[in-house]
Chain A
Amino acid sequence: MAQRNNIWANIDWITVGLYLLLVLMGWLNIYAAVYDAGHQSIFDISQRYGKQLIWIGAALLIALVIMVIETNFYVFFSYIFYGAMILLLLLVLVVAKEINGARSWLSIGGLRLQPSEFAKFATALALARYMSTFDFSMKNIKSLFMLALVIFLPAALIVLQNDTGSALVYFSFVLVLFREGLSGLFLFLGTLIAVLFVLALIMANFTLILVLLIAALVMFLVLNPKISQFVRVSFFLLVPVALAVLVNLMLGNKFEWADIILAGSLLGAVITLVYAIRARIRNYIIIAVFFMGAVLFTLSVDYGFNNLLEPHQQVRINELLGIESNPYGAGYHVNQSKIAIGSGGMWGKGYLNGTQTKFNFVPEQDTDFIFCTVGEEWGFAGTFVVIGLFLALFIRLVWLAERQRSVFSRIYGYSVAVILFFHFAVNIGMTIGIMPVIGIPLPFFSYGGSSLWSFTILLFIFIRLDASRMENFRDSRNV
């Protein structure tokens, strides 16, 4: 029992305080978003703010239960939770009815739950458990494979539910892996792929390949200042292009220009590669591979975009990149969202005085677009404070994670931080038009029992682990 007293004393009240503050602000904004002069009782459970009040009460109860349970429970049961969640996700695929295009809801009696929400903390637990096992190593292929399996199995199941947004959350674990020793190259490559992906969609293939060609030549020049070699390489790259163009002209422009240049430059890159391997010039090998990889990636993005993505996803990405713009089409959400936030000004229109959100100009104003209410009614002052509070929470979580003695707690702590961060970044980025419209909630703010409970569970398991950080519980590796 002495230990238990210890726990309450060791709770990180700053995190708890930040959590309570965000939940309270979230509820106030849901009330404002749904507010209607006709229904003013805050306990009216026919209204969403009334229901949210119930969800908050239940969430606090869940938090309390989590705090009471021994920490070993989470470690022991991490795989069990994970397995149960995978089964639930499978079950959803079989029995769920479609809501808003996604089959992610499970109805139990009158209660509707979204298992994909809860899969996040289960995956985080399983990840922490797996990565803290004795024989885990970042350099071991088998370990990495298992790691990928743990992360992407639930993600794949969620994609099958047609809820791509929630599945994308699992990419955020890359940051945890980075902290645990994954090569920085992955982060770099990830960023590069993202940039190329965007460029491939914005630019015509023809232009992009020219840009890549020039970039490769510049890199040759910068990385190896021997002019004779540079001239040789330029020759290797450009002659096949010129030849291809010539052949095409002789055939009477049988092929598209883009295809001809593409084929020519790929041929050139292969010649360059062979030359570089023979001459043992490492930099040239890398650049040639980079060039070929980039070209192939560009082509596959185009193919994937046109053939694999659903039309509504294509439109959303196009809207975001400014390729298409139709204020009353798919861009309507973002446009109205920006109008609502932008109209808030420095100090906002005052609580309950928002017109854009109150009169339903902003869609999903109490769930995915709840941040609009903050922006409209509290102005820049309000959005600044909310972003500040979230940032404080994330930094606090990283700081807490770093002070853990057990690897399990640290990895779990980081997982909490990056999952919350990913939601924060994508959700707010979406409302201000710098991210595509991906329907994921803003933690603690958005209306909805499943998301609030799942974030509460996610966070409080870590607060519980942190409270017992001095205990020596079962953990294969120690820092």
Chain B
Amino acid sequence: MNDLTKRSYVIVLVFVLVALIFIVKLFRLQVMDPTYKQYATNNVLREVVQYPARGLIYDRNGELLVYNKTAYDLLITPREVKQFDTTMFCNLLEITRKDLEEGIQKAKSYSWYKPSILIKQISPENYAVLQEQLYKFEGFHSQSRTLREYSAPIAAHALGYVGEVTGGDLEKDPYYKSGDYIGISGIEKIYEKQLRGTKGIKKNLVDVHNRIQGSYRLGREDIPAQIGSNITTTIDLKLQQYAEILFQNKKGAVVAIEPSTGEVLALLSAPLYDPGLLVGRVRGKNYAELLADSLKPLFNRALQAKYPPGSTFKTITALIGLQTQAINTSTHFTCNGPASTPIKCTHNHVTPTNVLEGIRESCNPFMWNTFRSIIGKYRTSAEGFSVWREFVRSFGIGTILSSDFANALKGDLPTEDMYNRIYGTGHWNALTIRSLAIGQGELGVTPLQMANVASVVANRGFYYEPHIVKAVEGDTIRSSFKMKHEVGIEEQHFEPIIEGMRQSIKGAYLLPGIEYCGKTGTIQNNQGLEHGAFEAFAPKEEPHIAVFVYVENSKWGASYAAPIASLIIEKYLNDTIASNRHYIEERMINTNLLDPNKIVITDGAAE
């Protein structure tokens, strides 16, 4: 038996051994291995993102342009879903059974126990109906998001739109998470950082069924969302609205600038579209439709179109001629009308005796001769061209001009190298590139650039960087907006040009009581009817508005572009349209220029 007593030690040894194994295992589990702590946090912590409201956008007078509306996302937590009436569910949400099944499948593959979005951006009206029935559908809940809403369906191109972030955005900025919204174009894009605010995080404790049990650490680690900053634009709501009314059923662009500040009063690209189309659940469908539209409504002509400026460019040609002393105020060139060479004159007018008349009559031979004189003043054509080009550039042509616009383009300003490539070095001269004199040829300008040219003329020699945002709440605007850009042409040279521009105003675009200056342009177009353009500023002294209007396929600049510009000017300066001009207004509004067969040219005014 003594022998068996010793076996008690074996038994105790077994006890101790097991206890030791437990202690070693527990030490590893609890003290050495940090992963379980992480798992535990993942288990109970649910971080709920608090989406801030996007900043509001106002016009220059404090009128609201863009605000937010609430929409609801429906989320699904697959693990909690019980059998439900799928037919009723689909009817409530206006989705097909296939959508539902695919959505549920997608959610399941993401996570069984974490909620994921099943249906995005349900309108408050639909949500109100849904909410009453939501209790019948276990495992579904909603979260509110804010969507853009527009006080008027205008300025789509200037304001831009907001959409879901792309993979590229996610890579560029870790702030964004999949499903977040980001400004994609216009002001929404350029001022994304200010408008978006900062997302917040609310940390909730959840139980095994994902039911919220309370705040983590009593909310001490919550980060409240900071709402986006409000932005005041330089846009004049009423003017923009009016310009858009005038531009219905037309293609083209309008840019209006306050010359004394560079503030953009109106900016439109036609065909127009309602910015509200690119919001909410309908966005994807509408976007595809707009993209497929042969008239390219999404293309922002005001900032991206490379229009040949045509005769509106003659102001620059004349100004450079005067500044370089290639001509003076009494220089005379003979015009033989349609018989002129190398560029014929399309207008019947008296032979201009000076530059003022050259501008007033938009005389092609005068401009060609001026251009030839400029180039010929220098040792070689190339050198002359370079001087000319530098002057043109100083007007902002061939440059981005401003950083305040998303997707603005430089346009085309030909270079010496380009001509060398085309014609061979030394094998080209003023004659070769004569089209430039009258704003055709290789020139491609954006309406923004031409509006800026009008602004330069209005200011007699300088401009401020055109910009569209006047103030950002809690922030300052760029200092570059206040910087004066001199174009290098002396003030005295502007007088004959401006006077010529004033005298050219006539007929349908003559404004009673307002003395203003303008320059029409008619641009040959291989694909159809000529494009009409008009560059203007008003009033002549101390101008408040410089405007450039471009109407595609409208034949003469004087036919539509000039009357439309005059109406915009009148509206801006007088706030009303004189009663004897109502018929012009009506005609502009009612004309449909989208179908070339229907265009009736009523006024063959000379240019």
A→B interface (CB under 8 Å): 175, 178-181, 328, 336, 338-346, 355-356, 358-361, 375-376, 379-380, 383-384, 387-388, 390-391, 394-395, 398, 401-402, 414, 417-418, 421, 424-425, 428-429, 432, 434, 479
Contact = CB atoms under 8 A, between A and B. Distances in A.
Given A342-B36, A390-B19, 8 more contacts: A180-B4, A328-B112, A346-B31, A360-B207, A379-B30, A387-B22, A395-B12, A398-B12
A342 B208 contact: no
Given A181-B4, A338-B29, A356-B44, A345 B22 contact: no
B48 to A, nearest CB: 16
A345 B43 contact: no
A281 B15 CA distance: 39
Contact of A434 (B25, B33, B35, B37): B25
A341 B44 contact: no
B1 interface: yes
B18 interface: yes
A178 B11 contact: yes
B205 A383 contact: no
Interface string B8-51: 10111011101101110111011101011101110110000000
A345 B27 CA distance: 9
Contacts of A179: 4, 7-8, 11
6 contacts: A338-B29, A344-B30, A376-B40, A387-B23, A387-B26, A417-B11
A40 to B, nearest CB: 15
Nearest to B5: A402
B30 A361 contact: no
Interface in B208-231: 208-209, 213
Given A179-B7, A380-B27, A398-B8, A342 B22 contact: no
A175 B35 CA distance: 38
Nearest to A341: B29
B26 A479 contact: no
Contact of B26 (A175, A180, A361, A432): A432
A391 B27 contact: no
Contact of B30 (A328, A383, A434): A383
Interface residues of B, number: 39
Contact of A178 (B7, B12, B31): B7
Summarize A's interface: helix, strand, loop or mixed. Answer: helix
Interface of B: 1, 4-5, 7-8, 10-12, 14-16, 18-19, 21-23, 25-27, 29-31, 33, 35-37, 39-41, 43-44, 112-113, 205-209, 213
Contacts of B31: 345-346, 380
Summarize B's interface: helix, strand, loop or mixed. Answer: helix
Nearest to A181: B4
A432 B206 contact: no
- 6 closest Cβ pairs, A-B complex: A342-B36, A343-B40, A359-B207, A380-B30, A360-B208, A355-B44
Contacts of B112: 328
Contacts of A401: 8
Contact of B22 (A181, A355, A428): A428
B565 to A, nearest CB: 69
B77 to A, nearest CB: 14
A124 to B, nearest CB: 15
Contacts of A402: 5, 8
Nearest to B14: A175
B235 to A, nearest CB: 53
Looking at B14, B23, B30, B43, which has the most chain A CB atoms within 10 Å of its CB? B30
Contact of A395 (B15, B29, B40, B41): B15
A47 to B, nearest CB: 17
Nearest to B42: A339
Contacts of A387: 19, 22-23, 26
Contacts of A421: 14-15, 18
A330 B22 CA distance: 22
Contacts of B12: 394-395, 398
Contacts of A344: 30
A394 B8 CA distance: 11
Nearest to B45: A355
Contacts of B7: 178-179
Nearest to A379: B30
B216 to A, nearest CB: 9
B25 A432 contact: yes
A181 B16 CA distance: 21
A345 B34 CA distance: 8
Nearest to B113: A328
Contacts of B30: 341-342, 344-346, 375, 379-380, 383
Contact of A380 (B18, B26, B205, B213): B26
A359 B213 contact: yes
Contact of A339 (B10, B25, B40, B206): B40
A25 to B, nearest CB: 16
Contact of B36 (A338, A355, A417): A338
A359 to B, nearest CB: 4
Nearest to B6: A179
Contacts of A391: 15-16, 19
Nearest to A328: B112
A172 to B, nearest CB: 11
Looking at B8, B26, B206, which has the most chain A CB atoms within 10 Å of its CB? B26
Contacts of A328: 112-113
Contacts of A394: 12, 15
B19 A342 contact: no
A211 B39 CA distance: 39
B29 A384 contact: no
A391 B21 CA distance: 12
A388 to B, nearest CB: 8
Given A355-B40, A395-B12, A434-B21, A342 B33 contact: yes
A174 B35 CA distance: 39
A208 to B, nearest CB: 25
A118 B518 CA distance: 108
A342 B37 contact: yes
A209 to B, nearest CB: 30
A346 B7 CA distance: 36
